[in-house]
Amino acid sequence: MKKTIVIASNNEHKLKEFKEILTEYNIVTLNDISYYDDIEETGTTFEENALIKAQTIHKYLKSRGLDYIVIADDSGLCVESLNGAPGVYSARYAGGHGDNEANRSKLQQDLIGKERDAYFICTIVVVYTNGEHKTFEGKTFGKITEEELGKKDFGYDCIFYSNDLNKTFGEATEEEKNSVSHRGRAIKEMIKWF
């Protein structure tokens, strides 16, 4: 029987990516465990935010007598000439949470006349059934393009030109993106540990 892992997220893109890579596990979502509250990400680093999410869900599972491993991640885009911004604020860079178009527009404004080297980073925290945790990190490097190329439905993908793929993530297939993505790399590190 497959081991069950709870992914501490309701982000469909994120869940899809985890399911595509962690095929040997039974992946359970927050909806599946009837957890509907928002988890406030008050950390100042990706690791702090991932840990807050993972420990919150771990405590919730314990209170219901469930012994599952919990995985949470926090990820974002860091632009070197902007001192790592948008960073942990990537999803709410322009103010509102998840307004991809506004976030990309603000980033383009902030980058006028500046270097465009950037990287995506993903920090994964795994909390085991006994409460101990382990952290894994993945990065993927590239540049911010001046125009939007490819699919515009997810985050900064259409303006992140991947050094590995020689195209934007918006132009890449899911398989191509997963093979070099920050999340894909962090998950591979985690699988090695498992």
Place of tokens 């928002």: 38
Cα R_g (the chain), whole angstroms = 17
Query: Quick check: 100 and 155 in contact, CB under 8 A?
Result: yes
Active site residue 32: no
Other CB atoms within a 10 A radius of the CB of residue 34 amount to: 8
From the list 74, 110, 153, 164, the catalytic residue is 74
List the structure tokens of 57: 């869900």
CA angle 32, 35, 39 (to 5 degrees): 130
Q: Which amino acid is at 40?
A: E
Q: Which of 50, 43, 106 is nearest to 79 (CA)?
A: 106
Number of other CB atoms surrounding residue 94 within 10 Å: 18
Q: What is the DSSP string of 13-74?
A: HHHHHHHHH-TTEEEE-TTTTT--SPPP---SSHHHHHHHHHHHHHHHHHHTT---EEEEEE
**CB neighbours of 175 closer than 8 A, spacing ≥ 6?**
none
- Residues with a catalytic annotation lie at 74
